[in-house]
Amino acid sequence: MSSLSASNLNSHNRGEVAVSIKNLNVVYKTTLEKRPTLKNRLLQFSSGKKQTRIVNAVQDFNLEVSYGSVLGVVGANGAGKSTLMRSISGILPPTTGRIELYGSVSTLLALGVGFSQEMTGRDNVILGGLAAGLSRADINNKFDEIVDFAELREVIDAPMRTYSSGMYARLAFAVAVTVEPDILIIDEALSTGDAHFKMKSLNRVKELRGHNRALILVSHALATIEEVCNEVIWLNKGKLIQKGDPVSVVAAYKKFLEVGSSPMIDEDV
């Protein structure tokens, strides 16, 4: 991974492709862990099949994200947003299709991912920085900036398990934005902060957009999506329903939430 420093600021031109996704499909296959009843056992035995649940979490998905833009991702619970983010960040390989990244990526997934509960905030910052490709010296240089941004100086040497979920999210956000990735993926992490931190992190997101980074923001906070994004996609049951300017996509999605259906969704497909 390339070393990240102030020198690579603006290393990408506005409009240059940062992420390219072609014909992506992600399928989850899980074996059901039902307690086997005698009837089930006999049925399975006779058919020789195990019970599996197959979820087509992302289907026939195509997208390009360019530098200098903030892409918003909206959709109901279970629509496939986090699955898509995990695939883009390389945590979850595509079942079929291609994802190409033209730059370094930093991912801030929903709570519970990344930090170790038993380690102190300080050690998590160091590990997080190393995982993002920073050298020990880079991390030392940025350490104060991270802690000050998170406003967690007083608790930085306490184990993470003693942090509230908002404090946890603050530190995760501070690390993710300070390592200056080319591509930053934020899945829901903004929503846990209090109003003060929310404002601060939104400003940081806008700043990064100005630095020609590429940002992908997944959130149920539709006002935030409208405010910071240049473009929004709406996912439903793993499919791209609409892509366009924030105001019209959010309006169509809101309408769908109100009435529970949309002319844009062809249920027969």
Residues in the site for ligand ATP, rule: CB under 6 A? 28, 30, 55, 57, 75, 77-83
Decide: 59 and 217 in contact? Cβ < 8 Å: no
User: Is 82 or 178 the residue whose CB approaches Mg ion more closely?
Assistant: 82
Residue nearest Mg ion (C-beta atom) = 82
Partner interacting with residue 170 (select from Mg ion, ligand ATP, none; CB below 5-8 Å by kind): none
Give 3-state DSSP helix, strand, coil % of the chain, rounded to 5: 40, 25, 35
Count of CB atoms situated within 10 Å of the CB of 214: 27
Query: Smallest gap, in angstroms, from Cβ of residue 92 to ligand ATP?
Result: 8
In angstroms, give the least distance from the CB of 131 to Mg ion. Answer: 21
236 binds, among Mg ion, ligand ATP, none (CB under 5 to 8 A by kind): none
What does 106 interact with, of ligand ATP, Mg ion, none (CB < 5 to 8 A by kind)?
none
Q: Are 184 and 210 contacting, i.e. CB atoms less than 8 angstroms apart?
A: no
Q: Which two tokens stand for residue 101?
A: 């990244």
DSSP class of residue 3?
Answer: -
Given a contact cutoff of 8 angstroms between Cβ atoms, the answer to whether 235 and 73 are in contact is yes
| CB 186 to ligand ATP: min, Å | 13
Cα 58 from Cα 24, distance rounded (Å): 7
What sign has the CA pseudo-torsion 114, 120, 125, 127?
negative
Specify the stretch interacting with Mg ion by CB under 5 A; choose among 1-9, 57-65, 74-82, 245-253. 74-82
Q: Where in 170-209 is the site for Mg ion (CB under 5 A)?
A: none
Distance, in Å, from the CA atom of 120 to the CA atom of 243, rounded to the nearest integer, reads 41
Q: State the number of binding residues for Mg ion (CB under 5 A).
A: 1
Is 82 among the residues that bind Mg ion (CB under 5 A)? yes
Residue 84 or 101 with smaller CB distance to ligand ATP: 84
Q: What is the DSSP letter of 179?
A: T
77 interface partner picked from Mg ion, ligand ATP, none, CB below 5 to 8 A per type: ligand ATP
Toward Mg ion, which CB reaches closer, 111 or 158? 111
Least distance CB 158 / ligand ATP (angstroms): 29
- Phi and psi angles of residue 127, each rounded to the nearest 5 degrees, phi first: -65, -40
User: In whole angstroms, how close is the CB of 107 to Mg ion at the nearest point?
Assistant: 13
- Nearest-CA neighbor of 186 among 146, 213, 147, 155? 213
Pick the closer one to ligand ATP by CB: 83 or 224: 83
The residues of the shown chain that bind Mg ion, judged by CB under 5 A, are 82
